[in-house]
Amino acid sequence: MAEEQTELDERIIIKDLHTKEIDLVNRDPKHINEDVVKVDFEDVIAEPVGTYSFDGVWKTSYTTFTVSKYWCYRLLSAILGIPLAVIWGFLFALISFCHIWAVVPCIKSYLIEIQCVARIYPLCIHTFCDPLFEALSKICSNIRVALRKEI
């Protein structure tokens, strides 16, 4: 009985990884679209003092803007939301696949191979460059610079 319960709990945990509960009230919990798409009537249309339209036109314009924005967004999300979700899901799955199966192995391979070069490079520098720069320093060590102030 205890084994069956443990197995059932494992199935529920595995299922919950793919069918996570979503919040239908707060649909932007990480605030990624906080300042991008908050566009209200006042942000787009404004009448300066002295150039007011009729009050009825202003109220109707406000209502028309708000309702048309609301329903156009709902219509577009109903028509294009699911296909775009599939495309974005595929794209991020592809990026994850490439990162897991190509990028990380290439970087690890590079790091392993560069260790050999990292051991040989200092030997070459010490063998060829150190004597050269030591000789140049002895040549230039007798150079004296005198500064005089001329009046």
Structure tokens at 5: 């319960």
The Cα–Cα gap between 7 and 20 comes to 20
pLDDT at 14 over 60: no
Structure tokens at 19: 């069918």
* pTM of structure: 0.55
From 51-55, 75-79, 89-93, 97-101, the region with the lowest mean pLDDT: 51-55
Write the CB contacts of 53 (distance below 8 Å, at least 6 apart in sequence).
47, 61
**Inter-residue contact 65 to 45 (CB < 8 Å):** yes
Mean pLDDT over residues 3-25, rounded? 66
pLDDT band at residue 46, thresholds of 50, 70 and 90? confident
pLDDT at 107 over 90: yes
pLDDT band at residue 145, thresholds of 50, 70 and 90? confident
